[in-house]
Structure 1
Amino acid sequence: MLKVQEIRELIKLIDQSSIDEFVYENEGSKIKMKKTGSVTIAAAQPAGQTVSVEPQTVPVESVVVPAAAVQEVKQEAPKAEPVVEENTENLHKITSPMVGTFYASPSPDADPYVTAGSKVSKDSIVCIVEAMKLFNEIEAEVNGEIVEVLVKNGQLVEYGQPLFLVKPE
């Protein structure tokens, strides 16, 4: 059975991904997670037993907040930054093959595998994507030059999300 911390990590990953439903079975245990709107519901039970978890909607009117806890919150509209459109038609995108955490280097104290301007061959390792404690080395897939690194070290990435732009040779 998974530890509580591992289940919490799974819930975070599922919640931040575009996956709507996730089922995990191992050694007689089953975990099923379903997203409805912005709520993730998780249920764990031994295999062979059926537990149904239905999403529940809580009306906003039924939430009671003590007057002392209410503070005025001021929000500024985010400032729009100018978007620079680059010609990416002839650039190759290296995408994430899975949902996980992006790491630019093999260890926290090591230099990144690649940076903008690095030359790569199709079997060059460009990063690691960690999913469920497994570290998966991602290869460049093409010969060329890294034009841009699209994600930050430690950032959660989704399946198919572009990680790098490469100018093929």
Structure 2
Amino acid sequence: MLKVQEIRELIKLVDQSSIDEFVYENEGSKIKMKKHTGTSTVTTVQIPQAAAQAVPVVQQAAPAAVSGTAPVQELKQEEAATVKQADTSNLHKITSPMVGTFYASPTPEADAYVKAGSVVSKDSIVCIVEAMKLFNEIEAEVNGEIVEVLAKNGQLVEYGQPLFLVKPE
């Protein structure tokens, strides 16, 4: 049987992925997770030992076709992403130095450190990344203007994930 921490990590991974359904069977235990409208459901079932097999099963639900325009919408999104990438080639990315939770302000009641259009210097604090109850202030690294904030307040961020786009001076 998986430990509680391992199950929590699986929930986070499934929640952050595009997988809609996940099933894991091992040594008489079965874990099944389904996502519906942004929420995850976990069901753990004990299987009789005779029927137990150590075979992990991963299923991804096929997306339902809404209309005949879905491929066109996907193409437009890909084109927009390509244009955005081309426009950001001369911009500096401020990335997360660690895995943690992104906070745009020092307290929930306070205004954000920076927003799009804010002018920053190398030592300006732009956000906080909280990891293991330690609140790490992240500095801008360059002089310039914040073009875009890429992370949302309270969002989990990964090591190296871009948090801000800055137009250097």
TM-score range relative to shorter protein: 0.5 to 0.7
Asked whether the 8 Å contact 1:13–1:99 carries over to 2, the reply is no
Q: Tell me which stretches of 4 or more aligned residues in structure 1 moved more than 2 Å.
A: 7-16, 56-60, 73-82
3-state DSSP class of the match of 1:11?
helix
Shift in Å, 1:151: 1.0
3-state DSSP class of the match of 2:105?
coil
After superposition, give the CA deviation of every residue in 1:93-133 in whole Å (9 maximum; x if it has no partner). 00000011111011111100000000000000000111111
Q: In structure 2, what residue type is equivalent to 1:155?
A: Q
3-state DSSP class of the match of 2:9?
helix
Q: Which residue pairs with 1:110 in the alignment?
A: 110
| TM-score under structure 1 length normalisation | 0.58
More helix by share: 2
- In structure 2, stretches of 5+ residues that fail to align are 15-21, 25-53
Asked whether the 8 Å contact 1:129–1:136 carries over to 2, the reply is yes
Q: Which residue pairs with 1:57 in the alignment?
A: 55
- In structure 1, stretches of 5+ residues that fail to align are 17-36, 40-55, 61-72
2: CA distance between counterparts of 1:167 and 1:88?
9
Q: In structure 1, what residue type is equivalent to 2:55?
A: T
Q: Which residue pairs with 1:92 in the alignment?
A: 92
| RMSD, aligned α-carbons | 3.7
Q: Show the 5 A alignment for 1:16-35.
A: none
Q: Which residue pairs with 1:30 in the alignment?
A: none
Cα distance, 1:164–1:89 mapped onto 2, change above 3 Å: same
Q: How many residues align?
A: 120
Asked whether the 8 Å contact 2:23–2:57 carries over to 1, the reply is no
* Residue 148 (structure 2) pairs with residue 142 (structure 1): no
3-state DSSP class of the match of 2:97?
coil
Shift in Å, 1:75: 3.7
After superposition, give the CA deviation of every residue in 1:57-98 in whole Å (9 maximum; x if it has no partner). 3458xxxxxxxxxxxx98456753532513112110000000
Percent of pairs identical after alignment?
Answer: 65
Q: Which residue pairs with 2:50 in the alignment?
A: none
Q: In structure 2, what residue type is equivalent to 1:164?
A: F
Shift in Å, 1:10: 7.4
Moved more, 122-131 or 81-90: 81-90
1: CA distance between counterparts of 2:166 and 2:6?
35
Q: Which residue pairs with 1:131 in the alignment?
A: 131
1: CA distance between counterparts of 2:11 and 2:98?
11
